[in-house]
Amino acid sequence: MLSSPSVSDLQERLQAALGPAYRVERELGGGGMSRVFLALEPKLGRHVVVKVLPPDMAPGVNAERFQREIRLAASLQHPLIVPLLTAESSGDLLYYVMPYIEGDSLRTRLAREERLSIPETLRILRDVADALTYAHRQGIVHRDIKPENVLLAQGHALVTDFGVAKALSRSTGPSPLTTVGVALGTPAYMAPEQAAGDPNIDARCDLYALGVLGYESLTGLPPFTGFTPQQVLAAQLTESPLPVARRRTDIPPALAHAIMRCLEKERGARWASAEELVGVLDTITTPSRGTAPVAVARGARRWWPALGAAVVIGAGAWLAWRAHERADVSVSTTRVAVLPFTVHGSGDLAYLGDGMVNLLGTSLDGAGDLHTVDPRTLLGTLAHGRPGPLDPEAGAALATTLGAGLYVLGDIVKVGDSLHIEASLYEHGGAVARGTVEGETEQLFGLVDRRAAQLLANRTTGPGTRVAQIAAVTTASLPALKAYLEGEHEFRAGHFTQAAESFQRAVTADTMFALAYYRLSIVAEWLVHTELARQAAEQAVRHADRLSDHDRQLLQALLAGRRGDAIDAERRYRAILGTYPDDLEAWIQLGEVLFHYGPILGRGIERSREAWARVLALDPDNVAAVIHLARVAAADGGRVELDSLVARMVRLNPAGDRLLEVEVIRAF
């Protein structure tokens, strides 16, 4: 597993490997599973990008053959292809160098705008198809066309990482790499023949991926999504995509046809070549304007306008509903609850007890058929009358209430600078997998990934099991992680000012910590710090490639609300909840949208009651839910319910932001 070396450690090692030819300046975002650094080439006075592959990949790669394959790809000379300058290896470091291109990746643009205009999409498809035409004539197939590998600069789309997937695949001998997104491709963009492992891949797999890229650019989503990479691959093989024109009605028929023909299951039914597709795209005309989203006024969220009367169900009714929900929860054998670990031997690592819920949960989520219980939901449930250390019997009872048929218990022991992590995976009350890992404290992320791999090794989840890499979705900085976890604790308790301070410490410690930027943006909005909320959201988008797919979906839904498209935001949150029904964050944000935008759309704020009640079912001490339910009661004039909710708010948040309580009372 990837040991996630710190930025400073990896940067020093890379600099030593590069020697005087390049001077490494800083790490950049946007590398997917690779680490990306900006460097200066002093001799020519230009900046370059150095991409470093995971150190644990090096032992399986024939470095000489990798460099030979990269040299072949480096022979490509085309204005729309970012050239490969060199590829080298040094110990366990395998890296390649490219020119630095000013601009966003298509992935960053989609994270910010979600879907593109028809003219811009057509220009991007035309440019990428032109680059593919040239490369295919040279006998080089990309194999991994996706938004991350398309750079937008000076009005053009440039294709990057040409030949890297092939170079890795060709240089691994009889046991080809199976790391998703490197050798095989990326599941959402893989042609059926790639998904089936066909060794005779030809240029038409790139046309399929280009069709997916166009589909996502126009609609905001690729044709197939699923819980795991394996499910997406299965869909590529067996399912027909919904026609792109059904998802967006203003697409010119010729463009819709061009995209859907790229997505044909049989490669012979696709366009014969990228050159043929270029000719088709050149004939397509686009409308002068697209269809604008239904919008509502900006700046409406979390202000306290005078709202109309609401229908009050009553506190007793929603409390009864919460109890009913918990009683009827169904238990899934593929749902796993990572419970807090017991920490021994060091007070300075006490935060890792709860922290393992996030860390190990992230590693296990999406591995094979597994889905983890949302960490905020789990910790919120425990915080309500939390017991001491859990034994297997108590863990089984808690997991059952959360709908999880699997659960993890473990211990962390620190002796000097060494960590000993022991964990067990339980099913039906009995351990089905056990294991321990040991290492230095700074190797925490690698240790967690190794521990996750051990748990999965004794549980068959099908070929190609993927363990999510912690560094890609959280941070490689322990101080940043600790500050983030403290921020989550303060935010859940309603201490919004303290939460903002903690999240700010997290992003100061790691300036590319996308998840902390996302949470900082939300808490800043609670505090009505509009500029901070905007800046933090921009940083989250900038580093969105470091988020998990799940958190990226939450970010896109949040941005839909921020730009005033409440209908799209509600749709996105409900889609997330269709996959993650106990996602506390999605329920909270859905409640926000229904509460603050509902009246502007002619709906009563009582429509948000169900969402807030669901939040309390998942997290009984959630202050935000109590505040909003109090607002609903205040708008309806329900004195008894309002008094009860305000008293509950004071009990939960005696030292918190009292301004919120005052506003509720004023509204009444």
Angle between helix 639-652 and helix 623-636 axes, rounded to 10 deg: 160
Residue 162, both tokens: 């040409």
189, 207 Cβ separation under 8 angstroms: no
DSSP E strands in 217-290: the ranges are none
SS3 361: helix
Q: Which helix (H) or strand (E) holds 647?
A: helix 639-652
Residue 398, both tokens: 């808690």
Q: How far apart are CA 23 and CA 46, in angstroms?
A: 11
Say how many C-beta atoms besides its own lie within 10 A of residue 408's C-beta. Answer: 26
Q: How far apart are CA 159 and CA 52, in angstroms?
A: 19
Closest CA to 331 of 397, 269, 268, 281: 397
- CB burial of 555-574 (b: ≥16 within 10 Å; e: otherwise) equals bbbbbbbbbbbbebbbebbe
388, 370 Cβ separation under 8 angstroms: no
Residue 157, both tokens: 């789309």
Q: Which of 104, 127, 130, 144 is catalytic?
A: 144
Closest CA to 142 of 126, 158, 122, 119: 158
Q: Which helix (H) or strand (E) holds 215?
A: helix 204-219
Q: How far apart are CA 457 and CA 463, in angstroms?
A: 11
Q: Which helix (H) or strand (E) holds 550?
A: helix 549-562
Q: Is 144 a catalytic residue?
A: yes
Instruction: List active site positions.
Output: 144
